[in-house]
Structure 1
Amino acid sequence: MPELITADGALRQDDWVVVPRPEEGEALALPDDKPALVPADLWLENESTFANRADIGVWFDSHDEPEILAGKVNEVPLIAVNFPRFVDGRGYSIGRLLRERFGYEGDLRAIGDVLLDQLQFMKRCGFSTFVLRADKDASQAARYLDFFSQTYQAAWDTDLPLFRRRAS
């Protein structure tokens, strides 16, 4: 089971299972005894079955549009965003859209090719938990979550850029 990093740098076990998209003609296979993250569009197709279940969350791939869950984001306990490659920044935009435009208030998790030096930037976009790539040391995560003492840009966590914060 991978370790989960919280936004304050704490480590805990990740009990959630990311259910891969089934091949064409196959059914979605949920684990029996663990909470599951299903592809967002499949959650929407099965909304009547999955709605209000605390053990079923959703995950977005980097090419998915978060608009598909507009108005329903707070019906799921956990939303994960897959970063398929560390150079793919679309997940940052998905995180900000979920928080700022769609008002998601639950746990927003970064999964996939997540590296230590990305953590503070993901946190600034609204991510609250992180699962590092398997070859990375999660015990070092706390120092990377607040690596920079000041940030220049406005983001989900700070609505004013540094020059405006200094002027006030």
Structure 2
Amino acid sequence: MPNIIKLDGSVHNDEWQVVARPADGESLVVPEGPALVPVDLWLAGREHFADRSDIGVWFEGHDEPETLDGLVNELPLIAVNFPKFADGRGYSIARLLRERYGFRNELRAIGDVLLDQLQFMKRCGFDSFALREDKDPAKAARCLNFFSQNYQAATDNDTPLFRRRAS
């Protein structure tokens, strides 16, 4: 199982299985145990998952977070896929889920997640990270806290530095 990095830099085994989108004409097969299904398929079959507290969803960059408006906190975990490191749409999805839709549970970055992105993902509201397989999870703690102060307000601190210094 791949490793998951938490905000404190600790490394954990990933209990959650990401369920790939089925090919055309195939049905969604959800395994036993914790699973992440595509958000649109969860919405389409929500009644089938009502008795399972171990089902979360994952977003692609083109998925809209408002599809979960009013439903976000029914989910124990939401993951956002970064298909390549240069695709920044996942940062916006994370901020919207946290700030506009009030998601309080675990928000995970999956896909092409690199060490140098962790600090910025944390600022957008992610609290767990599935690093790309070729990256060293032992270096994650340093990368999560690379900067001691941030100038701008963000999900992790809504007061900009000039206001923090003034008080």
TM-score tier (shorter): over 0.9
Partner of 1:147: 146
Runs of 4+ in 1 over 4 A off after TM superposition: none
Distance 1:3 1:79 in 2: 17
Partner of 1:12: 12
Q: How many residue pairs are counted as aligned between the two chains? A: 167
Which secondary structure state, in structure 2, belongs to the residue aligned with residue 80 of structure 1?
strand
Structure 2 gaps of 5+ residues are: none
Distance 1:17 1:31 in 2: 8
Cα displacement string for residues 18-63 of structure 1 (whole angstroms, at most 9, x for unaligned residues): 001111110001123x311000010001111113522110000011
CA contact (8 A) 1:52 1:75 kept: no
Which secondary structure state, in structure 2, belongs to the residue aligned with residue 43 of structure 1?
helix
Distance 1:15 1:5 in 2: 12
Cα displacement string for residues 2-24 of structure 1 (whole angstroms, at most 9, x for unaligned residues): 00000111111001110011111
Q: Which amino acid aligns with 2:113?
A: V
Distance 1:148 1:52 in 2: 42
Distance 1:73 1:50 in 2: 14
Cα displacement string for residues 109-128 of structure 1 (whole angstroms, at most 9, x for unaligned residues): 00000000111111111101
Please tell me whether residue 97 in structure 1 is matched to residue 104 in structure 2: no
Partner of 1:38: 37
Structure 1 gaps of 5+ residues are: none
* Shift in alpha-carbon separation, 1:89–1:95, aligned structure 2, 3 A: same
Distance 2:51 2:71 in 1: 11
Distance 1:149 1:106 in 2: 25
Give the TM-score taking structure 2 as reference length: 0.97
CA RMSD of aligned residues (A): 0.9
Q: Which amino acid aligns with 2:35?
A: A
CA contact (8 A) 1:53 1:76 kept: no
Distance 1:152 1:72 in 2: 33
Partner of 2:156: 157
Cα offset for 1:166?
1.0
CA contact (8 A) 1:82 1:91 kept: yes
Larger displacement relative to structure 2 (45-54 or 11-20)? 45-54
Provide the identity percentage.
Answer: 68
Give the TM-score taking structure 1 as reference length: 0.97
Partner of 1:22: 22
